[in-house]
Amino acid sequence: MEVVLSGIRPTGNLHLGNYFGAVRNFIKMQEENSCYFFIADYHSLTTHPTPADLHGNIRNVLAEFLATGLDPEKATLYVQSDLPETAELYLLLNMNAYIGELERCTSFKEKIRKHPENVNAGLLTYPTLMAADILLHRAHKVPVGKDQEQHLEMTRTFARRFNRMYNIEFFPEPQAYNFGEELVKVPGLDGSGKMGKSESEGNAIFLVDSPEIIRKKVMRAVSDAGPTEEGQAKTEAVENLFSLLKIMSKPETLAFFEDEYLNCRIRYGDLKKQLAEDIILFTSPIRERILEIRDDNEYLRKVTKMGAEKARESASKTIKEIREIIGISSF
Ligand code: AMP
């Protein structure tokens, strides 16, 4: 069975883009692989969240992932900082990570450009921390977005370097998990581009949004003045609304509005009303579970304790072997 690992940043709430672009695949993956999903709280410290925000965000992310269907019995779901082994492997890998290669990292250069006032060592060594997360479980597959491909390449470099240095085939070289055709891009509501939490206000629909908020956001979505001749090409904003219908609504609903558009009879208000109701139908049960789980300390404690125990089984085994390989052996 392949070992698959993915980190989840504890920032903000999950939106429909996260669900259809990532979480839905995690739920399928957990059926067929040995999956490790962790909440990357160490990683998020580079931006200096307040203790209350950090803890609140971890609670939120945990509740949202559990509510969508990540199963702590099937997958290993843990908080990164619950594994002291993460910090140890990070330290050890840093000894063989060179400043030059870390500085050349695109995401690091991007961070310097955007936040010149906060160029800390944690940011520079973000790729070694990510490598530690992955190599700790000797993972084979990592589902990564385009922005993370370079980091994964660095993980392979660190793994190869370690293997070569100690002349041992210890770490497998992790590969990107490819979802192939299943990858969908969920558009946002502001008329251009994809749904994202840091886009304009009202662009994203969060799983935890109430029906009232969802209706308001969808009714305010950007459209256009409507087609004036038969078969007129759609503007990006309208194309986006149709893409959302395709993801959220029944095929016959999509076909109905396609037909209305083709014949220039379309009323975007009707389309949006239907879209909002179909989104609400999908998100409501998830939202109810999120609200329930978020306040259930006992359940969250149980899940994180179980996750940490399962994760530490593999992590402590890896660290024990690495220590011996490196020469940190007991007398
Ligand atoms: P983010 O919250 O932006 O870090 O996104 C986490 C993951 O969610 C990404 O790596 C993607 O796999 C997925 N994702 C985010 N936004 C979208 C979107 N609009 N459409 C499809 N997938 C998305």
> Is the domain of 118 the same as that of 174?
yes
pLDDT tens figures, 70-125: 999 999 999 999 999 999 999 999 999 999 999 999 999 999 999 999 999 999 99
Q: Is 74 a catalytic residue?
A: no
What CA–CA distance (Å, rounded) separates 209 from 284? 9
Q: Are residues 148 and 254 in the same domain?
A: no
130 and 150 Cβ atoms separated by less than 8 Å: no
Cα–Cα dist 182/22, whole Å: 10
Within a domain: residue 102? yes
Residue 239 lies in a domain: yes
Could you tell me the CA-to-CA distances from 115 to 44, 200, 267 in Å, in that order? 15, 20, 45
Identify whether residues 222 and 245 lie together within a single domain.
yes
Instruction: Read off the pLDDT of each residue in 120-134 and give the average, rounded to a whole number.
Output: 98
Whether 228 and 174 share a structural domain: no
Give me ligand 1 centre to Cα 21, in Å.
6
pLDDT (tens digit per residue) in 25-51: 999 999 999 999 999 999 999 999 999
Between 1 and 119, where is the model more confident? 119
Q: Does the C-beta of 143 come closer than 6 Å to ligand 1?
A: no
Same domain, 303 and 176: yes
Q: Is the CB of 289 under 6 A from ligand 1?
A: no
- If asked whether residues 116 and 7 sit together in one domain, one would say yes
Tell me the average pLDDT across 160-171.
98
Position 284 pLDDT exceeds 90: yes
Residue that wins the pLDDT comparison between 310 and 231: 310
User: Does 190 reside within a domain?
Assistant: no
Mean pLDDT of 144-150: 80
Q: What is the pLDDT of residue 181?
A: 58
Ligand 1 atom with the shortest distance to the CA of 14: 2
How far apart CA 169 and CA 218 sit, in angstroms, is: 53
Residue 182, pLDDT > 70, answer: no
Distances (CA, A) of 157 to 42, 67, 125: 22, 36, 14
Q: Which residue among 74, 194, 273, 317 is the active-site one?
A: 194
Q: Give residue-wise pLDDT tens across range 232-278.
A: 999 999 999 999 999 999 999 999 999 999 999 999 999 999 999 99
- Is 269 found in the same domain as 155? no
Is the pLDDT confidence value at 130 over 90?
yes
Task: State whether the beta carbon of 17 lies less than 6 angstroms from ligand 1.
Answer: yes
Tokens representing 315 are 């992590």
Same domain, 31 and 124: yes
**Surface-to-core class of residue 65, CB atoms within 10 Å of its CB (0-12 exposed, 13-18 middle, 19+ buried):** buried
On whether residue 22 sits in a domain, the answer given is: yes
178: pLDDT strictly greater than 80: no
Region of residue 180 (left: phi > 0; alpha: psi -120 to 50; beta: else): left
Share of the chain above pLDDT 70, in %: 99
Residue 85 domain flag: yes
CA dist., res. 331 & res. 310, Å (int)? 29
The number of distinct structural domains making up the chain is 2
Average pLDDT, the chain: 95
Nearest CA to ligand 1 atom 1: 18
Examine the pLDDT at 146 and tell me if it is beyond 80: no
- Whether 192 is covered by a domain: the verdict is no
Same domain, yes or no: 269 and 311: no
Which of 18, 197, 248 most suits a substitution to test ligand 1, by most atoms within 8 Å of the C-beta? 18
Active site residue 197: yes
Verify that 104 and 32 share a domain, yes or no: yes
User: Is-catalytic flag, 250?
Assistant: no
List, for residues 187-244, the tens digit of each pLDDT value: 999 998 899 987 678 999 999 999 999 999 999 999 999 999 988 999 999 999 999 9
Full residue range of the structural domain in which residue 265 is found: 211-290
Choose the catalytic residue: 74, 197, 234, 310. Answer: 197
In a domain, 284, yes or no: yes
Same domain, 113 and 223: no
Residues 123 and 7 in one domain: yes
| 18 CB within 6 A, ligand 1 | yes
Q: What is the dihedral of CA 209, 211, 215, 218, to 10 degrees?
A: 40
CB-ligand 1 contact for 185 (6 Å cutoff)? yes
**Domain for residue 121, yes or no?**
yes
- Sorting pLDDT into bands at 50, 70 and 90, what band is 1? confident
CATH number of the domain at 219, please.
Answer: 1.10.240.10
Residue from 74, 109, 111, 185 carrying the catalytic annotation = 111
Query: Residue 59 belongs to a domain with what CATH number?
Result: 3.40.50.620
